[in-house]
Amino acid sequence: MNPLFIGDSIAEGFRNRGEGTTLVGASPSKVLSFLMQDLARNPDAYKNRLINLSTGISNNPNDLESIRKQFELLSQLGASVNVLGAAKGTYDPQNRQLEQMANEFGLRFLGGFEPGPDRVHPVSYSLYNGLDLSEPFMSTGSQRYGQSIENIAPQNSEKVLAKLEGVTGELNKSTGEFNEREWSPEEAQRYSYYKARAYKNRRG
């Protein structure tokens, strides 16, 4: 099942032709109303769904209460939530606030993004800090020569980030070949992020 995109112009840009409710200029209170409207139509609208949420914080940085209500609502609905941040440099204090609140409610904050010339919107909507938000992600496990390899990867990717006895690298799922290499900071963040998600899912 494809992820849902909910929020302001940031979510709209990454949404492309995907599913969800987005609006350019949406404030945190407006984004909250999107969530409430969806749930009024269908109380199970977000159950077992991956949601990419852009809170609207750059359209009203002072409305943290509406963002808190967004997080509180989503944390109770059985959804898996990616919280998108705001432009690095322009909204650093707000990104710290988003991270703190996301952690409080058990949601996953993906960090701020590199902005384009307007210092508000992303320089590119192709990937978010190395992540393809349009792809559902899953965790998998592999064995090689009796050694445990942990890997976290997009479902349809042939080569995935992996660790072999603590050594970082890349695993070819077709051949089982592990190639040692250092990860970029974005890749390390992605690995940790989805490993935590897989651990949470295993614990129920």
Q: Could you say which DSSP state residue 135 is in?
A: S
- The torsion region of residue 115 among left (phi > 0), alpha (psi -120 to 50) and beta comes to beta
Domain-located, residue 193 = yes
Q: Partners of 122 in the beta sheet? A: 115
Q: Within a domain: residue 117?
A: no
79 in the same domain as 143: no
Does any domain span residue 95?
Answer: yes
State the CB neighbour count (10 A cutoff) for residue 25.
11
Residues in the chain predicted with pLDDT less than 50, given as ranges, are 138-156, 199, 202
pLDDT at 37: 96
Same domain, 95 and 175: no
Outline where 76-184 has alpha helix (H).
92-105
CB of 162 closer than 8 Å to CB of 147: no
Give a yes or no: residue 49 inside a domain: yes
The answer to whether position 41 is within a domain reads yes
pLDDT at residue number 174: 61
3-class secondary structure, 76: coil
> Per-residue pLDDT tens for 121-174?
999 998 998 888 887 653 333 333 333 334 444 444 567 777 776 778 887 766
Report d(CA 60, CA 38) in Å as an integer.
22
